[in-house]
Chain A
Amino acid sequence: MAYDKFNILRSSAVPLSIENVDTDQIIPARFLKATERVGFGDNLFRDWRYNSDNSPKAEFVLNNPLYSGKILVGGKNFGSGSSREHAAWAIYDYGFRCVVSSFFADIFKGNCLNIGVLPVQVSPEFADKIFQAIEADPKTELEVNLPEQTISILSTGEKESFDISSYKKSNMLNGFDDIDYLVNIKPEIQEFASNLPI
């Protein structure tokens, strides 16, 4: 599925400093029953965001009107657990285009890159600085510059660079996905398959 190109994103951010946020929290299993990719944002962080009677939990950050933006800043080991791509879909569908953390779980990170959510891994120190800056001023803007591979806190001018493979970077900048690439090399794949040991 094609997604919007990513270049430079300047936005305020939503802080979620809890560690080990697993994909069951991002989207609980009971909301995985759709056969189309629609409406997952409504159930993003469902059980942290709503009481069992569907009333919002005022203390949860997504329900706090002070915080908004296209960037979600998570604690260490964000996205652990299940491989459900629905977690990345829910984040995208809610309106986030970038997730920042000092450490990501592998499958989640790959899923994000495949659907156009940029995972930005920063040092634990820089993550702390971001959380502090948002705490000091919830409207603090971050700038995520994909061509330059940098993330900046605009209020303090602090900046850090982040890693992304040149292949995935090019995909994100152009809104391409891996299927286009693989379909183009199908004859090479079929030739390879004919020579396998099992």
Chain B
Amino acid sequence: MNNRIKILREQSLNAVNSLSVERAFLITDFYKNHADQNDSVSVQRAKAFRYILLNKKINIVGDELIVGERGPAPKEVPTYPEISLHSLSDLDILNSREKVSYRVSEEMRLIYEKEIIPFWKGNSQRERIMIAQGKEWHQAYNAGIFTEFQEQRTPGHTVAGGKIYQKGISDLLSENQDGTEDGKAMRISGEAIIEFAGLYSNELRKMAALELREWRAIELLEMAEICKQVPAKAPRSFHEALQYYWFMHIGVLTESNPWDSFNPGRLDQHLYPFYKREIEEGKLTKERAVEILQSFWIKFNNHPAPSKVGVTAEESNTYTDFALINLGGLTADGDDAVNELTFVILDVIEEMRLLQPSSMIQLSRKNPDSFLHRTIKILKTGFGQPSVFNTDMIIEELLRQGKDIVDARNGGASGCVESGAFGTEAYILTGYFNLTKVLEICLNNGVDPVSKKFIGIETGAPEEFKSFDDLMSAYKKQLGYFLEIKMEGNRIIDQLFDQFIPVPFLSILIDDCIKNGKDYNRGGARYNTSYIQGVGLGSVTDSLTAIKFHVFDKRGISMSGLMDALKTNFEHYSEFRNELVYHTPKYGNDDDYADDQSLEVFEAFFSLVDGKQAYKKNSVFRINMLPTTSHIYFGKVMGATPDGRKAHQPLSEGISPSQGGDRLGPTAVLKSASKIDHSKTGGTLLNQKFSPRFFENEDSIQKLAGLVRSYFKLGGHHIQFNVVNSETLLDAQKHPEKYQDLIVRVAGYSDYFNDLGTDLQNEIIRRTAHSDE
């Protein structure tokens, strides 16, 4: 990387994560002093959006090539008081906590105390959601049966498609249905972003006049021209295309704080026509393209995730905002989409080595091996990116849901592993669901043994189960009961977003909101899906298998004996626990005796959710299998489990086996993991750890490629590799100062090892040690 990029990268890495009061101040000012009460909610939101954009600080960092920040400066993160209102104590915690802290200035604290909190108290979306939910929901939520994504962030979780590379915002708005309030709001928002770009254009021109270095002065004038062209009109060049997207990014993230961070999706596909043409015409060199891309990469790294309120650091707490760049895959016609720019971007990923944006490859059977081999060489360097996805399976999943083949091929994965039709789908992640905790409730006849409260339904005392089938049918009843509570809760939440938080700017970008004159949060998108993410498949499978094996088949222990062992956290049952840990069939070993339970739980979860009506008329619920870091939190809220796991320890993550449960190596894991039908999900997550020693031999790349291809032929959705040895991690725990750049794969994303909580660090060390053997 050249000097300019080196400096920008250093600046980004060294910038202190802090909260900015700017947005909170402006949106409060707007609703207090400038909002017209006669306007519809959508139009008010659009005008608020415009007010923020036109009054926020214009900031151009160093010699960057892509401009625009969400906050006033890199790593200054705005807050969203209309969605989730930070209390003073939230601000103090964020300012002072050891991990993932955000600096909060005295001034911000004061403005919050005097202006923001008094105005929004009782009127934030989070408060509305909490008040609207019933007793059953609160009980289940507090017990850790499920989490709720939308309580602090808006339903975003969508990805930009290809249309902005062909049309300017003005062109898109010309198709707008001004007849609806949502349509009007989209026009106001679209025009606002053009005005916002104009402010940047003016500022760049002013800077050019004062710039002493001639080359930079010329560059600043070019950039001023770019900001005049985009986003108003269609981009004409590679540089304009990236700047256009970046204005969209800033717009979406200024309007609200959607899960997960908006992102450009199929970047190599969108940019390739510009790249190819300009290279051929001699207007662009590969070096310049790389420089612009690197500057673009740094912009993502300048944007840590919005900070949370109230909750602890357990559930998905990270600076990572889950923007996931997709590379490769198939074209709209179904051909191999890998091109020379794909490899250029892979080079950029390897060289930048940044946490954000995250990156992945879409691997189809039609893609060349060179693409996969290049990726494995980057993985070998051990920072967990890019992860590897099966395009053919993603398309199959989207087709099963009834999507058009072209929309499916234009899709990919976002966030951690979530499949979606890019640019045409509102796919909402509603929260993690604790499949293992439901078994705990079932084994206690509806009572949560941790809180001693009755929160489920009566399905019979476990001692009275005559057969393993009796247990399974009781489990399925409890599962159905809690899933209904979860889904009903989300219908209520979606209704509140429909009513209070339309997102007109995001609606411009997702088809067919403009055509339908209907907001993204009101069902305007072509496809609408609400996902529930199942967590703990390995743990619940092993627990059920252990009961089947020891209580019903071998009859070595009675059900009441087992219950006593669990109640006492195996205190007088260490021999039995040894049996459970070392001598009981487990998921992940290609052994049907255990894997049959994973299939049965998966199928039950699927049939209780898939296709159920969500709030929006054109929206249904579906499942996927990913944990982020919730398996730690979900383990914390649980006592001991029949798989030998002690109380409060983490659950298994994604569809990976329980930590240490797989004993026959990666092929057996992949076989077990592929027994469930991935096409019934919207994504599954499988983690495989390799010690660096595995990669010492050149042949290993070929063999790993064979492993990935085989898993995908078996129908796997995603696989990721962690390449790091446990000694390194242990040393990093002891001397965090020496490992500030150590990035590890967590679960569907990478994070700085130092930023992880000790529990999560320990878990990663445990799993890594296992792979060293």
A binds B: no
Residues of A at under 8 Å CB distance from B? Answer: none
